[in-house]
Structure 1
Amino acid sequence: MQHYCNNCNTYTKQQYCPLCKNKLSQKSGDNEYYPIYETKVKRRRFAQRLVLFVAIFIVSTSILINLLTNPDKLWFLYVLSPVLYSLLTINHTILSRAHIGSKVVLQVIALSVMLFILDAASGSSKWSIHYVIPFLVTLATLLVTIIVLRKPMKWREYIGYMTTMVILGFLPVILFLSSWSTVLWPSAATALYALMTLIGMVLFSEKTMKNEIVRRFHF
């Protein structure tokens, strides 16, 4: 007898989903659902390849036009970074079935890179490093924290992503100490929030999770 998980969209012979541990509803023992699933996978893969092709076409065209018309000014960077970010957003965040934690982490990294490129291309006033990137890291860390608090059973799945976000939280301070950034308070606020998140992970998690956190951070 097949069981179906509405949360994970998976089929299993067990009464509880191996991913989210929810009790499952019973479905027919036949494989009638698998052709439908395979069709969805094929459509999703085709859509991802189509988006990739369109992105390559746009970037290649903009580079060619830039080199032929005004090679002294690399304005194609204004096209390159948004297209690459849109490619990741559509193929990985929207169409992919990747873990939501990886989607959040890659989103904040990709968006930060895109804004940094646009900042550098527009004259490098460093507004992205001073204000926007610290705000994005703080917001992403808060988002992952909220997800974990709403689904405590999935804490173990998110510990790697939480660790990554905590590490990224100290990145603005490193940029400030290396003179890349000259505005202290956004970097300091982001580092403080990352530190408080780390302390909260240690204090309020279960014993097994505490051991995992200690192992990852080498306390």
Structure 2
Amino acid sequence: MQHYCSNCNTYTKQQYCPLCKQKLSKKTGDNEYYPIYETRVKRRRFAQRLVLFIAIFTVSTSLLINLLTNPEQLWFLYVLSPVLYSLLTINHTILSRAHIGSKVVLQVIALSVMLFILDAASGSSKWSIHYVIPFLVTLATLLVTIIVLRKPMKWREYIGYMTTMVILGFLPVILFLSSWSTVLWPSAATALYALLTLIGMVLFSEKTMKNEIVRRFHF
């Protein structure tokens, strides 16, 4: 009898999926579905490479036109950051089989970097640092928290991503203390939410998870 992984749509005789390492419980007959999976993988990889080529073509063409027409003003940055963000969104978030926690973390980081570049290119009024990035970090932390609460059995899978989001929650305060940001309340609110999330992780998690949290934060 073979085990079936609904996450990867594959069959294996092992109790754990060879691709995503999840423990498998469903079983089926002796049909072999790896050829179908390999076809899907090849199509996905081709799509990812095609998107990468389009991104490289778009950025390089914009840079060339910028340097030939108006080298004093680097307007190609308005093209660069959205293209790079779109590349990550399509190849990692949409086409990739990566863990959803990884997708959320990389999304908030990539979106923050894109908005910061656009902010700097438009005159650096620091609206991205003052308001948008703190809001994005808070929203992403809340999203991961909701996912964990809906799937408590998968808490161990998300602890690393939760830890990362908590750490990112204190980043706006660091930017404020280093004078990069001059608006306190968004940074303070984000840090407070990160702190409350950390306290909630310690108070309401199981003993094994609590020990893991304490070990990671060195309490």
Identify the TM-score tier after normalising by the shorter chain.
Answer: over 0.9
Q: In the alignment, is the contact (CA less than 8 A) between 1:112 and 1:133 conserved in 2?
A: yes
Q: Give the CA deviation at 1:12.
A: 3.1
> Secondary structure in 2 aligned to 1:24?
coil
User: Bigger shift: 115-124 or 9-18?
Assistant: 9-18
Distance 1:48 1:19, change over 3 A: closer
> Secondary structure in 2 aligned to 1:125?
coil
Please, what TM-score do these two structures have when normalized by structure 1? Answer: 0.93
Q: Give the CA deviation at 1:4.
A: 1.5
Q: Distance in 1 between matches of 2:34 and 2:177?
A: 55
Q: Give the CA deviation at 1:2.
A: 1.4
Q: Distance in 2 between matches of 1:158 and 1:28?
A: 29
Distance 1:59 1:139, change over 3 A: same
Distance 1:41 1:19, change over 3 A: closer
Q: In the alignment, is the contact (CA less than 8 A) between 1:137 and 1:190 conserved in 2?
A: yes
User: What residue is the counterpart of 1:173 in the other structure?
Assistant: 173
User: Bigger shift: 54-63 or 27-36?
Assistant: 27-36
Distance 1:200 1:10, change over 3 A: farther
Provide Cα deviations, 1:76-135, integer angstroms capped at 9, x if missing partner: 000000000000000000000001000000000000000000000000000000000000
Distance 1:22 1:59, change over 3 A: closer
Question: RMSD of the TM alignment (CA)?
Answer: 2.2
Distance 1:192 1:25, change over 3 A: closer
Q: Distance in 2 between matches of 1:45 and 1:20?
A: 17
User: Bigger shift: 14-23 or 53-62?
Assistant: 14-23
Distance 1:203 1:171, change over 3 A: same
Distance 1:14 1:128, change over 3 A: same
Distance 1:8 1:49, change over 3 A: closer
Q: Distance in 1 between matches of 2:25 and 2:207?
A: 33
Q: Distance in 1 between matches of 2:21 and 2:197?
A: 26
Distance 1:53 1:203, change over 3 A: same
Q: Give the CA deviation at 1:190.
A: 0.2
Distance 1:60 1:32, change over 3 A: same
Distance 1:78 1:147, change over 3 A: same
> Secondary structure in 1 aligned to 2:11?
strand
Q: In the alignment, is the contact (CA less than 8 A) between 2:137 and 2:169 conserved in 1?
A: yes
Provide Cα deviations, 1:19-63, integer angstroms capped at 9, x if missing partner: 999996766544531110000000000000000000000000000
Q: In the alignment, is the contact (CA less than 8 A) between 1:173 and 1:191 conserved in 2?
A: yes
User: What residue is the counterpart of 2:194 in the other structure?
Assistant: 194
Distance 1:20 1:77, change over 3 A: closer
Q: Distance in 2 between matches of 1:86 and 1:165?
A: 22
Q: Give the CA deviation at 1:3.
A: 2.3
Show structure 2 runs of 5+ residues with no match. Answer: none
Distance 1:72 1:160, change over 3 A: same
Q: In the alignment, is the contact (CA less than 8 A) between 1:20 and 1:154 conserved in 2?
A: no
